[in-house]
Amino acid sequence: MIRVVCYSEDRKLQQVLGPALGADYHFRVESDKALVQRAVADGRLDVLILDFDSNYGSLEDGLQLFSSVVDSGIAVVVMTDDERRSATLNLIQRGAYDYFRKPPSLVELRVVLGRAHERVVLRRELEKTRRELQESCSCDNLIGSSRPAQAVHALIRRVASLNAPVMIRGESGTGKELIARAIHNLGNRAKHPFVAVPCGAFPETLIEAELFGHEKGAFTGTAGARVGYMEQAGEGTLLLDEIGELSPQTQVKLLRVLQERQFSRLGSCRLIPLRARIVAATHRSLEQMVEAGAFRMDLLFRLNVMTIEAPPLRERVDDIPALARHFLEQSSAAFEKPVRDITPGAMDLLFAHQWPGNVRELENAIQSAIIVTQDDVIGPEDLPRSLQQCVPLPAAREEGALSFEDQLWEYKFELATKTLAMCNGNKTLAARTLRISRAYLHRLIRPSRVQLGAA
């Protein structure tokens, strides 16, 4: 059914056009501009007819209504008389779909409304496809289907189009910048620049010039003016990476900029509006820094409006195979060395490792293995020594000389598998019964280190 509202003070139109259009149309006449705007905002409207008959209503009201709804996604059709034909043609240039003369021919009205509705349906389908494509592309680098990874993806989609500051927290190597880029790519600023500022990479004497820019001669050694990162970001996204590395003096200036939403280059009094969205990232506990007097509490409150926690790899072990194969494909192509797969034994070692360096350490391990391997697959012997040490030598099993750690591991393995069987394979219930995390349970139910060594 095509939902049509006619904005007019001519009440006869309801009696004449409503029944004539038939059951395929839900037609009503409305003279209250606010009600029409509400219907547009609520998505309860497909086509809007503006009655520009000079005998009914004011031209100014019709133009105001058109301006408020033209970009909403609905089709606007103008019904006019000869006196207001020039104003109607102006609306066609501004985005109105079509017009017809009043009184309309029923055949003409149905054709115009039908084509207008087809355009609305096509536009909505294109917009839906664009959103789905944008969502799928924007998180391409955020590989993972585990619950922690999916929770992060959901938060990204929730905050992407909002203008609120976001604080991304997590250990080093967990992909905080990738999360920030996903927020940018998925939001309404995707067409504008994404600028990442490594706050810890600049000395205290230069960070302000990098952030705010400077004019020629602002300080010793400046050969010319420079546009700062804040200005470069424009209406895009500015990532302040490792925000905890900023000096107290820079924190004060940054706080003022965030409050006033404007700044000036060093050596200039001209104020420049801050139009970029601010996203901050840190691996440090800013709350502890506040208690120690190393970070301003008011700046923390200003930045920490919405928090996204980047989970460490040890809490998302389900994602290790997908991440490892992604790095394998990416790095083998970059190194021009065809390595096609990872053996089950090598994958078991990847599961057994604790990954203190998180995803970045995993990428490094795969790259190292690609270089070392003399085959087209990565085996346990190709992985870095730190990973191979997770498995004891086979001789230890044969001699019966199991270490305390190996015996403890086997006990945990047997306890985890028995509990999982009691819970009918429900990992969440088994983890809750054992009072451990689901991620840790996944590591336990992998073949024990001793079994791997004996295999």
* C-alpha torsion 309→314→320→323, nearest 10: 40
Least confident range from 221-230, 278-287, 334-343, 406-415: namely 406-415
Q: In 3-state terms, what secondary structure has residue 325?
A: helix
- Using CA atoms, how far apart are residues 279 and 156, in angstroms rounded to an integer? 12
Domain 2-129, CATH:
3.40.50.2300
pLDDT tens digits for range 72-84 = 878 888 888 777 7
pLDDT tens digits for range 269-279 = 899 999 999 99
pLDDT, residue 134, reads 52
- pLDDT bin (cut points 50, 70, 90) of residue 137 is very low
Q: Please state, in angstroms and as integers, the Cα–Cα distance from residue 383 to each residue in 173, 329, 364, 368, 370, following that order.
A: 19, 16, 10, 7, 9
Superfamily of domain 147-311: P-loop containing nucleotide triphosphate hydrolases (3.40.50.300)
Whether the CB-CB separation of 153 and 142 falls below 8 Å is answered with yes
pLDDT, residue 453, reads 42
Least confident range from 18-32, 289-303, 357-371: namely 18-32
pLDDT, residue 452, reads 42
Q: Average pLDDT of 264-271?
A: 89
> How would you list the strands of the sheet with 194-198, edge to edge?
194-198, 237-241, 277-282, 166-169, 306-309
Domain 315-390, CATH:
1.10.8.60
Residue scoring higher pLDDT (358 or 30):
358
For the beta carbon of residue 186, count every other beta carbon within 10 angstroms.
Answer: 21
- Using CA atoms, how far apart are residues 134 and 154, in angstroms rounded to an integer? 14
Q: Which two tokens stand for residue 248?
A: 């107290």
Strand 341-342 and strand 306-309: the pairing is unpaired
Element (H, E) at 337: none
Q: Average pLDDT of 237-265?
A: 94
Whether the CB-CB separation of 382 and 369 falls below 8 Å is answered with yes
Quickly list DSSP for 72-93. Answer: SSSEEEEEE-GGGHHHHHHHHH
pLDDT tens digits for range 203-215 = 888 899 899 988 8
- pLDDT bin (cut points 50, 70, 90) of residue 400 is very low
Q: What percent of the chain has pLDDT over 70?
A: 88
Element (H, E) at 101: strand 98-101
Enter the DSSP assignment of 448: P
| Most confident range, picked from 86-90, 116-120, 166-170, 373-377 | 166-170
β-pair partners for 413: none
Whether the CB-CB separation of 4 and 29 falls below 8 Å is answered with no
What count of Cα atoms within 13 Å lies in the side-chain half-sphere of residue 198? 4
pLDDT, residue 45, reads 87
Residue scoring higher pLDDT (224 or 380):
380
Residue keyed to tokens 């924007």: 138
Q: What is the pTM of this model?
A: 0.58
Whether the CB-CB separation of 453 and 393 falls below 8 Å is answered with yes
Alpha helices in 304-455 (DSSP H): 320-335, 344-352, 358-372, 385-388, 394-398, 404-422, 427-434, 438-444, 449-454
Q: What percent of the chain has pLDDT over 90?
A: 36
* Alpha-carbon 232 to chain mean position: 21
What value does the mean pLDDT of the chain take?
84
pLDDT tens digits for range 304-318 = 999 999 999 999 988
pLDDT, residue 413, reads 76
